[in-house]
Amino acid sequence: MKFGIDRLLAEPDLLKSLGGKRVALVAHPASVTADLTHSLDALVAAGVNVTSAFGPQHGLKGDKQDNMVETADETDPVYGIPVFSLYGEVRRPTAAMMDSADVFLFDLQDLGCRIYTFVTTLLYLLEEASKHGKSVWVLDRPNPAGRPVEGTLLQTGMESFVGAAPMPMRHGLTMGEMGQWFIRHFGIDVDYRVVTMHYWLPEGPGYGWPEDRIWINPSPNAANINMARAYAGTVMIEGATLSEGRGTTRPLEVLFGAPDVDAKAVLTEMHRLAPDWLAGCALRDCWFEPTFHKHQGKLCNALMIHAEGPFYDHESFRPWRLQALAFKAIRNLYSDYPIWRGTDFKYEYTNDVLAIDVINGGSGLREWVDDSAATPADLDQMTAPNEAIWRDQVADLLLY
């Protein structure tokens, strides 16, 4: 198979369309060709007139380890072109940035989750390209989480950099498809093109991630396919006092970690509440001591997710519900446990709103966790109609 960047470089007609144009590249460390050449180097070697580059959250180099760490603009030391940060002084490209090129190639590997900020970066680029008469090409890449859809739709008024629009947490689209949805949903008038993948099978071997491609971290804590599959659930821990495993070698692959929570007891309660929600993966209690971030230097008990190998079932694995169930079990066992981070924690620069609500695009999940009378069936009743609405909305936009 071929990713969008590989097709662009291999097909003369595509390259010819860039002739005489100033070209910008939006990229990060996972923006590589099949032979692992970075897209910037490959485009320049192919004779494309690359006049600027853009880095999303974590930077073009992917060197910003922690969350919410900004990157400064710089000049590329090899090519002498400006490298603009879209997670620094600005999140939205400025007029001066847009003036640096005619065509903007968007080549970011995504995780298939609304909160992964590359989704919002695409929306902002499309909106600014519309204002300034520029073209946007998405060089499409796989959604490593595949086609499954999960989570409630983001509520009006809850928009943020981690919630661009009313989409569910696990959206099931590629970035090329997402761009089409943005254009239709927001009525964006922009010259838009998707350089599609050849022979991507979203439900074939690898269930979204091709078995013949190695994994390169699109961000520092996205270390493997297991994380990519679990992320639509485990990212919610960023809104909790519990550790998501930052400061360890396997961040965002645990349902929680804490020095004062009994993981085996939580797992037993999860089985009691909703055994079906544990399907599709293996859960293993473990221990870790974060070297930084939450509970730094403290021994934490945790539940590790293994959505991989013989334990993984693509159809039944539901990470958003799995994470919600872990929160619910902790609340049942430890009724006064301070699960949620307070409003003093300004998640993605929001004010006076709980991080967990920013992440979920509403208060529904948190309220369900904290309501002692609420059942798993209640959360399903709240969520399933939202998931159905989204599937219907995007059905005609699927390119594969």
Q: Do residue 54 and residue 166 come from a single domain? A: yes
Q: Report which DSSP code applies to 137.
A: E
Q: Do residue 205 and residue 157 come from a single domain? A: yes
Q: How far is CA 47 from CA 8, 18, 42, 341, in A?
A: 12, 10, 9, 50
**pLDDT single digits (tens) 183-195:** 999 999 999 999 9
In a domain, 173, yes or no: yes
In a domain, 302, yes or no: yes
**Residue 82 pLDDT > 70, yes or no?**
yes
Where residue 68 falls among pLDDT bands split at 50, 70, 90? low
**pLDDT single digits (tens) 313-344:** 999 999 999 999 999 999 999 999 999 999 99
Segment 40-51 mean pLDDT: 98
**What local confidence, expressed as pLDDT, does residue 65 receive?**
59
Q: Do residue 198 and residue 233 come from a single domain? A: no
Q: Do residue 287 and residue 263 come from a single domain? A: yes
- pLDDT mean across residues, the chain: 96
**Residue 265 pLDDT > 90, yes or no?**
yes
**What local confidence, expressed as pLDDT, does residue 239 receive?**
97
Question: Which domain range does residue 274 map to?
Answer: 225-390
Segment 24-31 mean pLDDT: 98
In a domain, 15, yes or no: yes
**What local confidence, expressed as pLDDT, does residue 69 receive?**
76
**What local confidence, expressed as pLDDT, does residue 272 receive?**
98
Segment 222-249 mean pLDDT: 97
Q: Do residue 104 and residue 24 come from a single domain? A: yes
Whole-angstrom distance, CA of residue 69 vs CA of residue 76: 20
**Residue 288 pLDDT > 70, yes or no?**
yes
Interacting residues of 89 by C-beta distance below 8 A, sequence separation 6+: 70, 73
In a domain, 194, yes or no: yes
**What local confidence, expressed as pLDDT, does residue 203 receive?**
86
**Residue 309 pLDDT > 80, yes or no?**
yes
Read off the CATH number of the domain in which 315 is found: 3.90.1150.140
For the chain, strand residue ranges (E) read 23-26, 50-55, 74-75, 82-85, 103-106, 135-139, 191-195, 254-258, 282-288, 300-306
% of the chain at pLDDT higher than 70: 98
Q: Do residue 256 and residue 356 come from a single domain? A: yes
State pTM to two decimals.
Answer: 0.96
Q: Do residue 256 and residue 161 come from a single domain? A: no
**Residue 210 pLDDT > 70, yes or no?**
yes
Read off the CATH number of the domain in which 27 is found: 3.40.50.12170
Q: Do residue 343 and residue 194 come from a single domain? A: no
Where residue 38 falls among pLDDT bands split at 50, 70, 90? very high
Q: Do residue 172 and residue 271 come from a single domain? A: no
**What local confidence, expressed as pLDDT, does residue 66 receive?**
64
**What local confidence, expressed as pLDDT, does residue 64 receive?**
61
**What local confidence, expressed as pLDDT, does residue 71 receive?**
86
Q: Do residue 295 and residue 357 come from a single domain? A: yes
**What local confidence, expressed as pLDDT, does residue 242 receive?**
98
Q: Do residue 196 and residue 284 come from a single domain? A: no
Angle between helices 175-186 and 118-132 (to 10 degrees): 50
**pLDDT single digits (tens) 114-168:** 999 999 999 999 999 999 999 999 999 999 999 999 999 999 999 999 999 999 9
Q: Do residue 251 and residue 197 come from a single domain? A: no
Whole-angstrom distance, CA of residue 19 vs CA of residue 49: 8
**Structural domain count, the chain:** 2
Q: Which class for 306: exposed (0-12), middle (13-18), buried (19 or more C-beta within 10 A)?
A: middle
